[in-house]
């Protein structure tokens, strides 16, 4: 019975996620689902990304958190339309939650929508929201074994941003072993090493993002 219930939930979400994707496709909006653990640097990456996209792309942001609007307040300072979704305990955003935010955004003024998912390495990978790409961010402080422990997150992601590489001299993290684990789980995964603190590697990330988003631009 439990397996059937879980399957029904996922199937119902797939229907709404497809509707969301059709909605975005009709408007030429590229949608990115940003996933990662709490504290890995999702919001910092979003801030650095907005700094570099300003003047080139009309960006909208949906912030997902269990509680508080702290991240949305940080993002709103960059002058982009921002909506906060508080799940009240759920460990992920789903298609219906994202659809509930549609009325808060003027999609005629958005080319690129970034959804910062709830901090979690498991649940967000299972639920589509209508995105074009899932991208995950992981920090070197989390250890190189995460691709083997949480394979689904790596399997469904188009790109992986390895953040906080400025800390590599100070933490026990085997970069080559991590890359081999990640590519074993997903051979097509684009891996980019970055530091949101120093800015290292961010230009490659922006180039990747703009290339993907350009395919949806009318």
Are residues 155 and 185 in contact, defined by beta-carbon separation less than 8 angstroms? yes
Strand partners, 190: 159
Q: What is the pLDDT of residues 149-189, one digit of tens each?
A: 999 999 999 999 999 999 999 999 999 999 999 999 999 99
DSSP 91: S
Q: What is the pLDDT of residues 137-148, one digit of tens each?
A: 999 999 999 999
Distance between CA atoms of residues 37 and 143, nearest Å: 12
What region, left, alpha or beta, does residue 106 occupy, with left being phi > 0 and alpha being psi -120 to 50 degrees? beta
Residue 217 — pLDDT band, cuts 50, 70, 90? confident
Strand partners, 31: 113
Residue 215 has pLDDT above 90, yes or no: no
> Could you give the angle at the alpha carbon of 34 between the alpha carbons of 31 and 38, nearest 5°?
160
Q: What is the pLDDT of residues 54-89, one digit of tens each?
A: 999 999 999 999 999 899 999 999 999 999 999 998
Query: Where are the strands (E) in 73-209, listed by range?
Result: 82-86, 112-116, 133-139, 159-163, 190-193
DSSP class per residue in 22-56:
HHHHHTT-EEEEEEE-TTSSHHHHHHHHHHHHTTT
CA distances (Å), origin 214, targets 49, 91, 175, 183, 210? 16, 31, 31, 26, 6
Q: What is the pLDDT of residues 195-205, one digit of tens each?
A: 999 999 999 99
% of residues, the chain, pLDDT over 90: 91
Please give the class, per CATH, of domain 2-214.
alpha beta
Residue 95 — pLDDT band, cuts 50, 70, 90? very high
Residue-level pLDDT at 5:
45
Which sequence spans correspond to the domains of the chain? Answer: 2-214
Distance between CA atoms of residues 162 and 164, nearest Å: 7
Q: What pTM, to 2 d.p., does this model score?
A: 0.94
Residue-level pLDDT at 4:
55
Question: Hey, what are 132's tokens?
Answer: 């074009």
């Amino acid at each position: 019975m439990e397996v059937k219930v879980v399957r029904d939930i996922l199937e119902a979400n797939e229907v709404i996620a497809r509707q969301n994707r059709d909605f975005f496709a009709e408007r030429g909006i590229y949608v990115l689902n940003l996933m990662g653990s709490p504290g890995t640097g999702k919001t910092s990456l979003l801030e650095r990304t907005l700094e570099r996209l300003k003047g080139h792309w009309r960006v909208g942001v949906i912030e997902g958190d269990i509680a508080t609007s702290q991240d949305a307040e940080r993002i709103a300072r960059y002058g982009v339309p921002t909506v906060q979704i508080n799940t009240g305990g759920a460990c992920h955003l789903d298609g219906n939650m994202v659809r509930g935010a549609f009325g808060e955004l003027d999609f005629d003024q958005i080319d690129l929508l970034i959804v910062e998912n709830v901090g979690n390495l498991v649940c967000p990978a299972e639920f589509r929201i209508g995105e074009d790409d899932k991208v995950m961010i992981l920090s070197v402080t989390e250890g190189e074994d995460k691709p083997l422990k949480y394979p689904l997150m790596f399997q469904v992601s188009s790109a992986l941003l390895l953040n906080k590489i400025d800390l590599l001299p100070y933490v026990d993290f085997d970069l080559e072993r991590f890359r081999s684990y990640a590519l074993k789980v997903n051979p097509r995964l684009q891996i980019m090493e970055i530091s949101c603190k120093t800015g290292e590697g961010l230009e490659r990330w922006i180039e990747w993002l703009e290339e993907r988003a350009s395919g949806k631009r009318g």
